[in-house]
Amino acid sequence: MEARISLKALTILLSFLVLSVFGFSPSLHGQEETTPYVPTYVLGNQILIINAGLFVPLFFQSLGGEIDNTNLSLGGVGSIQWSAYLNNEMTLGIEGGGMFSFSPNGRTLFMLPITARYAYILRAFPFEFPLSISAGINFTRLSSMFQILPIVKPGISVYWNYSLEWAFGVNFFYWWTPNLYSGPEPPKNHSRFGNFLEISLSALYHF
Amino acid sequence: MRRGLDRTKPLTDKFATPQAHISLLRENPCKWRSSFLKLGILLFLGILWTLGCSRDTEGIFYSLEQEEKAIDNSLPNDVRITGNMIKVTLGSEDRYYICAGSLFYRTTDLADNKPWTQIKSPISYGIVSGVAEVGGRIYVSLSNGEAHGLFRLTPDGNQYEPNENLYSAKQILRLFTLNNTLFASVGTILDDTFELLFWNGTALIPTGVHTYKIVAGAWDGANYWFASPSDLFRFSTAPSQNGWVPTPYYSYLSYTQNSTSPDPAFNGKSYFTDLFADSSDPTVSSPPYPVYLCSSDGYILKTKDGGLSWKTSGDHNRSFQSISKVKEIIVLGAGGSVVRELPKAVSEDDLDTSEAPGGNFTRLPDLYGSNAIRVFGFGDILYVGTTANGLWRGDYSTDPKSPVWSQE
């Protein structure tokens, strides 16, 4: 009998522990309120985001449409982004960051994009799903070669709001960066569209 | 401390009072829009400016797409090739020796998978400037800036003979073996006492050619040819002590002063860097064999009659540093990341048609992007020595149009 009571108590205790661990989402489980509090953002609210993660080279595409391997290794990526809310669903800001990846013989490709970023935010509180698109310039270096390329980065993110100020999430950004030439050197047939995928973890701060 | 939402805070938190924010930030909304507009315009102009703006010779992504992993032998990859390369037979073994800072050797048969072996220098931090074989013995010139000398390897070719510096008076710049005679170009630019010496069997003695910095030599079967940056020498007699009168066959100085040259092809030419005598030219049955001369201002000259007449190329606009032959193709190495083949130079005396090597050459950026200061042809095999990326091997045996390149 005592053992059965102890088991019941242990079960209740564990349940509390589990709830306390997973049940601390902001405003969802207010002890005095049953209605969750969902923050609303307006023009002028700002966010600062730091991203870091993996850079996945996908493929190069020629002007004729042929697809070929990038021959690049899995790389690293990081960025910092500032945005301001236009209204509760939309943000506009700028982003700067960089990536690195290695060629088969150890050459390092660096790309440092600076982009303007627009995002439309879908919500299922405490989660947010910003659909974003960035466009800007991309400082690209490989060995002694250097060029400033245009870049477009559409993507989707998933954020979990930890508090009013902080949210954490994961990003999937597609990097599309044309590397175009008109000749004679480099010749036009060296033109390629670079296609890459950024998978990064993100920390977001509202202020 | 947990940082979840606190029901006691929202009413005082700025995020919880959107109306207050609206009033605050709507005080000057035009400022925001104006800033974003300016930013957008700047980015758009930046994108337009960058399109088609490149000083590179190849596309960045294209270069990556074409790249392949280099097959790599055991010679260090980040070395400068500091001298020449020879192929010798020692006993029953054929070997290559290469000056790559230190002296390295390996067997010529790649199938045996033997590595390159470094021979410990008799001078601390000695840099090898030349290697040559005479009478079955291998001679090596070394210098570390202060100490220098001519050394000989033991008969097995595996190490230096101990405590035997054969010549230490001046720094040796180059070693050549021409017509089974060892020549040494010695001197430094500091004291301007350049001299051409030859090995008489026991010592290096003067040929009589002095004050000229000899950078290359060739033997066409009848004549000895030597090049300094602005002069070309031809000697038809065997070397003897001070037996050669140092009167240039062609002198850039004489041309500029007196407009004299042995052939109009030479007019105004200088910056000579290398000579190559082609003793295997199928169109020439007996000496003198064709001699090629290249210059760092982009010209190639050729004679097939011992210097009676010359043919010159146009300006290739390349800084040619070295010339050799692989298969039936004359090959040049140049500064500025260039190796060029002259596919018609042997058969048609065409010195103007040039092309980059084929095969996987363009897939190896550490090869095609390097300064190819030395080229060494050994039958079907071409070696390319670079300033910073070691030695590369091109195997032309299967298909000269598509050699297989690998790194040593």
pLDDT in tens, B164-179: 899 999 999 999 999 9
Percent of chain B with pLDDT over 90: 75
Strand partners, B130: B141
- Describe the strand order of the beta sheet including B85-90 as a list of residue ranges: B85-90, B93-100, B102-107, B117-119
State the pLDDT at residue B51: 54
Q: Does the beta carbon of A120 lie under 8 angstroms from any beta carbon of chain B? A: no
| Same domain as A108, residue A11 | no
Residue A171 pLDDT grade (very low, low, confident, very high; cuts 50, 70, 90): very high
| Same domain as A149, residue A60 | yes
Q: Do B29 and A107 touch (CB under 8 A)?
A: no
State the pLDDT at residue B80: 95
- Could you tell me if residue B106 is inside a domain? yes
Is pLDDT at A19 greater than 60 in this prediction? no
Q: What interface predicted TM-score (ipTM) does this complex get? A: 0.82
| Same domain as A185, residue A152 | yes
| Same domain as A88, residue A153 | yes
State the pLDDT at residue B188: 83
Q: Does the beta carbon of A137 lie under 8 angstroms from any beta carbon of chain B? A: yes
| Same domain as A123, residue A78 | yes
**From A148, A179, A182, residue closest to B61, measured CB to CB:** A179
* Alpha helices, H only, chain A: 2-22
Spatial contact of A131 and A171, defined as CB atoms under 8 Å apart = no
State the pLDDT at residue B337: 74
Angle (CA) B67 B70 B75, round 5°: 145
State the pLDDT at residue B163: 78
Residue B43 pLDDT grade (very low, low, confident, very high; cuts 50, 70, 90): low
* Predicted TM-score (pTM) of this structure: 0.77
Spatial contact of A178 and A149, defined as CB atoms under 8 Å apart = yes
- Could you tell me if residue B211 is inside a domain? yes
- Could you tell me if residue B68 is inside a domain? no
Q: What is the CATH number of the domain that holds B400?
A: 2.130.10.10
| Same domain as A128, residue A105 | yes
- B130 or B44, which is more confident: B130
Q: What is the CATH number of the domain that holds A142?
A: 2.40.160.20
Lowest average pLDDT, out of B4-13, B148-157, B221-230, B341-350, goes to B4-13
Is pLDDT at B272 greater than 60 in this prediction? yes
Residue type, A203: A
| Same domain as A22, residue A58 | no
Residue A25 pLDDT grade (very low, low, confident, very high; cuts 50, 70, 90): very low
Q: Collapsing DSSP states into helix, strand and coil, what is residue A19?
A: helix
Q: pLDDT tens digits, residue range B15-37?
A: 445 454 445 445 555 565 677 67
Segment B137-157 mean pLDDT:
94
The residue of chain B nearest to residue A145, with distances taken between CA atoms, is B56
Contacts of A182 in chain B (CB under 8 A): 52
Is pLDDT at B328 greater than 50 in this prediction? yes
- Could you tell me if residue B156 is inside a domain? yes
Q: Does the beta carbon of B72 lie under 8 angstroms from any beta carbon of chain A? A: no
The residue of chain A nearest to residue B50, with distances taken between CA atoms, is A148
- Could you tell me if residue B63 is inside a domain? no
| Same domain as A113, residue A192 | yes
- Could you tell me if residue B292 is inside a domain? yes
Is pLDDT at B6 greater than 50 in this prediction? no
Pairing of strands A75-85, A90-102: antiparallel
Residue B119 tokens read as 């021979």
B279, B282, B286, B287: CA torsion to nearest 10: -30
Contacts of B53 in chain A (CB under 8 A): 147-148
Q: Do A30 and B7 touch (CB under 8 A)?
A: yes
Contacts of A153 in chain B (CB under 8 A): none
| Same domain as A85, residue A26 | no
B380, B385, B390, B391: CA torsion to nearest 10: 10
B291, B383, A106, B106: CA torsion to nearest 10: -150
Lowest average pLDDT, out of A190-204, B56-70, B193-207, goes to B56-70
Provide the number of structural domains found in chain A. 2
Q: Radius of gyration over alpha carbons of chain A, in Å?
A: 23
State the pLDDT at residue B379: 95
- Separation of alpha carbons B378 and B395, rounded Å: 10
Segment B254-258 mean pLDDT:
92
Q: Do A25 and B4 touch (CB under 8 A)?
A: yes
Segment B81-94 mean pLDDT:
95
| Same domain as A60, residue A32 | no
- B12 or A45, which is more confident: A45
| Same domain as A76, residue A18 | no
Q: Do B56 and A137 touch (CB under 8 A)?
A: no
Segment B91-97 mean pLDDT:
94
Residue B293 pLDDT grade (very low, low, confident, very high; cuts 50, 70, 90): very high
Q: pLDDT tens digits, residue range A71-130?
A: 999 999 999 999 999 999 999 999 999 999 999 999 999 999 999 999 999 998 899 999
Provide the number of structural domains found in chain B. 1
Provide φ and ψ at B252, rounded to 5°.
-60, -35
Residue A9 domain boundaries: 1-37
Contacts of B36 in chain A (CB under 8 A): 92, 116
Provide φ and ψ at B313, rounded to 5°.
-85, 170
| Same domain as A71, residue A9 | no
Spatial contact of A48 and A207, defined as CB atoms under 8 Å apart = yes
Rounded to the nearest angstrom, the minimum Cα separation between A169 and chain B is: 16
- Separation of alpha carbons B32 and B37, rounded Å: 9
State the pLDDT at residue B46: 59
The residue of chain B nearest to residue A206, with distances taken between CA atoms, is B15
Q: Does the beta carbon of A142 lie under 8 angstroms from any beta carbon of chain B? A: yes
Q: Which of B31, B41, B60 to mutate to test the interface with A (most CBs of A within 10 A)?
A: B60
Residue B311 domain boundaries: 85-407
Residue B42 pLDDT grade (very low, low, confident, very high; cuts 50, 70, 90): confident
Rounded to the nearest angstrom, the minimum Cα separation between A141 and chain B is: 8
Is pLDDT at A155 greater than 90 in this prediction? yes
- Could you tell me if residue B7 is inside a domain? no
Residue B246 pLDDT grade (very low, low, confident, very high; cuts 50, 70, 90): very high
Size of interface A-B (CB pairs under 8 A): 157
Q: Do A70 and B22 touch (CB under 8 A)?
A: no
